[in-house]
Amino acid sequence: MNDIMIFSVISLGAIGIAASVILYFVAQRFKVIEDPKIDEVEEALPAANCGGCGFPGCRNFAEATVKSANENRHIEGLNCPVGGNDVMATVAAILALEVEEATPMIAVIRCNGSRANSPQKVQYDGPASCAFTHNLYAGEGGCQYGCLGLGDCVVACQFDAIHMDPETALPVVNDKCVACGACVVACPRDIIELRNRGPKERRIFVSCVNKEKGGPAKKNCAVACIGCGKCEQVCKFDAITIINNLAYIDFEKCKLCRKCEPVCPTGAIHEINFPLRKVKPETSEVKEKTEAAVKPTPQEKNAGKPAE
């Protein structure tokens, strides 16, 4: 009996040693040696793991950056929106490359269907989730394209850059926004868009995503875009297009000339951080024409007199 036990122990030990040796050589054969620069790049990143770069986490982004640098000798198309240009300059220096500065961006809410502009027609009572409610009905104001106001975008934001305005029931983006895009993904109605911050934080955009025709759109929201095309006509830079009854301003073509906003009949075009428009004084020529238009003609004066 003792001999059997001893033999068993020796056999199992020998099998274990043999397996260990085999595993060691297999591990050495298929060992993946990581570039030490991956750790350096990861350390330079903000460790937000927000996914704004298009990768699941900062480690994945670091691996992709180093791989692109080794294979292509550039890191074009790779950007960390949280770290911005300063972090990307540090990453480029680690990889002995140069990188072009990316244009700073910010999330923009393309809906102005507040409680005042889109009065409540029905009352929702259910789970406070835009993703859930989106599949149930058009919304309390009746616009099937507008903001549902339940704050999925707020929950998705890791940077405290967006909150719900209790008065309007619409989300508001502040200067903490790093353009990670989490709120864009979270919104089931695609009303949030990443746009250029613009010089001096000035931006012009159509705050509406309603694709209905003018009548139904205005019925559900007083400030809806009706696709009239007036803004497109005054734009000299081909920055405005009308598609599916909805105007869109291309922020890459827009020169911020501000000619589109005054001609919008519903106020769907928004200007952010611009100075107040100056009221032009009435010229003498215009004044004379106005007075002449108001002043009655001799025929009009004599129209009420009895004939002699």
Instruction: Concatenate the DSSP letters of all residues of 148-175 into one string.
Output: --S-HHHHH-SSS-EEEETTTTEEEE-T
Q: Is 298 among the domain residues?
A: no
Kindly state whether residues 125 and 265 are assigned to the same domain. Answer: yes
Kindly state whether residues 20 and 146 are assigned to the same domain. Answer: no
Q: Is 300 among the domain residues?
A: no
Structural domain ending residue among the three candidates 78, 102, 126 = 102
Structural domain ending residue among the three candidates 64, 79, 102 = 102
Kindly state whether residues 140 and 88 are assigned to the same domain. Answer: no
Kindly state whether residues 136 and 71 are assigned to the same domain. Answer: no
Residue whose pair of structure tokens reads 């990581």 in the numeric block: 34
- Residues 130-186: pLDDT tens digits? 999 999 888 999 999 999 999 999 999 999 999 999 999 999 999 999 999 999 999
What token pair was written down for 135? 């599949």
Query: In whole angstroms, how large is the CA radius of gyration of the chain?
Result: 32
Q: What is the dihedral of CA 294, 299, 305, 308, to 10 degrees?
A: 160
CA nearest to 144, candidates 165, 186, 123, 113: 113
Q: Which residues contact 2 (CB under 8 A, 6 or more apart)?
A: none
Q: Is 193 among the domain residues?
A: yes
Q: Is 6 among the domain residues?
A: no
- Considering the entire predicted model, what is its pTM? 0.76
Kindly state whether residues 145 and 85 are assigned to the same domain. Answer: no
Kindly state whether residues 224 and 110 are assigned to the same domain. Answer: yes
Q: Is 281 among the domain residues?
A: no
Q: Is 55 among the domain residues?
A: yes
Q: Which residues contact 198 (CB under 8 A, 6 or more apart)?
A: 251, 256, 272, 273
Q: Work out the end-to-end distance of the chain between its first and last CA atoms, rounded to an integer number of angstroms.
A: 151
Kindly state whether residues 262 and 116 are assigned to the same domain. Answer: yes
Kindly state whether residues 182 and 140 are assigned to the same domain. Answer: yes
Does the pLDDT of residue 78 top 80, yes or no? yes
Q: Can you tell me the distance from the alpha carbon of 126 to that of 122, in angstroms, rounded to the nearest whole number?
A: 13
Q: What angle do CA 216, 149, 118 make, to 5 degrees?
A: 30
Kindly state whether residues 207 and 93 are assigned to the same domain. Answer: no
What is the tally of structural domains in the chain? 2
Kindly state whether residues 96 and 223 are assigned to the same domain. Answer: no
Least confident span in 167-176, 204-213, 282-291: 282-291
Q: What is the pLDDT, as a whole number, of residue 260?
A: 97
Q: Compute the average pLDDT of residues 57-80.
A: 92
Does the pLDDT of residue 308 top 50, yes or no? no
Kindly state whether residues 167 and 38 are assigned to the same domain. Answer: no
Does the pLDDT of residue 278 top 90, yes or no? no
Other CB atoms within a 10 A radius of the CB of residue 192 amount to 24
SS (H, E, C) 36-74: HHHHHHHHHCCCCCCCCCCCCCHHHHHHHHHHHHHHHCC
Structural domain ending residue among the three candidates 82, 102, 122 = 102
Kindly state whether residues 182 and 58 are assigned to the same domain. Answer: no
Does the pLDDT of residue 285 top 70, yes or no? no
Mean pLDDT of the chain, nearest integer: 88
Q: Is 89 among the domain residues?
A: yes
Q: Compute the average pLDDT of residues 80-90.
A: 93
Q: What is the pLDDT, as a whole number, of residue 286?
A: 46
CATH number assigned to the domain comprising residue 177: 3.30.70.20
Q: What is the pLDDT, as a whole number, of residue 296?
A: 54
Q: Using the 8-state DSSP alphabet, how is residue 207 labeled?
A: -
Q: Can you tell me the distance from the alpha carbon of 285 to that of 75, in angstroms, rounded to the nearest whole number?
A: 61
Q: What is the pLDDT, as a whole number, of residue 284?
A: 53
Q: What is the pLDDT, as a whole number, of residue 292?
A: 53
Q: Compute the average pLDDT of residues 79-104.
A: 92
Q: Can you tell me the distance from the alpha carbon of 257 to that of 204, in angstroms, rounded to the nearest whole number?
A: 9
Q: Is 202 among the domain residues?
A: yes
Helix ranges (H only) for the chain are 2-29, 36-44, 58-72, 84-94, 130-133, 152-156, 182-186, 214-220, 230-234, 260-263, 284-294, 298-302
Q: What is the pLDDT, as a whole number, of residue 122?
A: 87
The parent domain of residue 60 ranges over: 16-102
